[in-house]
Structure 1
């Protein structure tokens, strides 16, 4: 992050000037989300001077249309209307501002897409400071039964561990992520590609209303804004930046969830992928992502916690197969029992020769194995006990 950028953003807790806040309202309302040029100007000049520069587009110049849109915005009126609807506007320097968003200025694409938003519109009582340790869980809108099961299991585990879940409020995996967190009495927030006063998709009306009344819905789009495809892509970078890591559960080859994972990579966040059946269309993208050596395989919420937690926290024991009785044998006993025949008994001399051990060592191991019911001794010699 440049020194100029550091100078343009007030430290957290230091009051943001009214002029700065109003300038950011204008930029938020007049500039399309993900406009890296505007973001770079704000980082270098501050919001007030960046707005002045953007308003100076003369007739016939490339910035003419943008200047016209910005000139139409009444920031004080926008803030007043938002406040009446229970919507607040956050800017860098506010105590609630998610600090991870500031890193977006270092991840603007070569095409000039990305950057830190001028501000965030938030509806809901939950302060965004609660998302400091959050995890994003995203995936296909056309979720399969497998995807639903894995999403709900992971999110319930995160909720029980006190880790907030962030998603996009969409159908499919997003809905299951929010709903599973709520069912486990967890904390969850939705980042939208439209205004926080709008319900999209309509099928998630009850969920989004609940989040807006009890938790938080977030957008860089001003109230009243409609969702568009570029706005969904811009929204994805916010999900990646606000959270400490992104979990992808089901994603086709052309999936917005993989776009979110790409932003998380650019921001050096943890990218975690739940692999899916190789025959599943909705898992082709996430499986290919892993095949390219990107992301980390996760199959359980505990593995997500291990990755995003502090060093030494939430350590997961390596998975092992079912424990067997032979696992408790000493190395000598385990070596000897391998050479005890199943049917025809063998003398101790034969077993010692085959195992490469001394006769007395073999004899002692066999007697211990008999006490543990692994072998039997008859007049003809030693043999394995039944069912061993």
Structure 2
């Protein structure tokens, strides 16, 4: 059934509350507006779940989430602090080794204070090959520095202050004693015997030599010990009355031929003759001979490659060896050793070598010491 406006009579829609034509309120009918219902209480919404990371565009996490995250952060700081303390402790312990610029660790180089057992050359490199002599150390002189190893596995002492390198074969832990007499002969041990580090009762053992070992008798000390040159270099000591008996070497090869180890670049004549050169220098100094004056010789009686060595000679900036053989025979022996020697007896050397060497007949005033001589120097 259609409804009509009581004011203007216009038809009303079934659910109209006002007349569309005159705007009068529709009252007194079934469509009158009912009283408004009270507003409903807002629904209780559960809190969102706690999340670790806030997503893009999401609302900030509730406050209790922040508290939990703050607690986790504090725990992380505590754990991190413990880890830092552990690293600090480890770093302090690693300070016992030296660190390089590349961050790598290496052990501190070993240092030593040693003594020369004979006059020893100082070289600019830790090598016999390609190095130059820059000085020398006297027998018994103290040498302090750092131990280094060359390409052949041989040890050297790099002297403090950068003054040079000296071979460990020429050094010992204790200063060598003064020698009451010199020998210099090549010997062969006839029994197993112990060689001592120093010429003292109760000294530590340095090595044990088996029968047949080749040694060199350097000389005798005043308190009853014999100093011997050892096969691997350096020296040791035997009590004179011990069972370490030796006899003259019957060898005519390596042992006998090691007497002269000549280097034409440096005028070195090898450790076998060094005790004789040392005695000659002391004798020359004792006679107050002027530097540029006469030479001084010291007698030797030893064999070398079929030659007879009769003396060592020291002069001003030169030294040499006298032979009881003609110059031609001596020259032939050194040519067989690989030296180039011209018909005048002069050795061929590189242009950068400052010294010269010659093998010549001795003059009339020096015939008492031999028929010929090898002279090397400036």
Relative to the length of structure 1, the TM-score reads 0.23
- Structure with a larger share of its residues in strand: 2
- Structure with a larger share of its residues in helix: 1
Relative to the length of structure 2, the TM-score reads 0.23
Q: Larger radius of gyration, structure 1 or 2?
A: 2
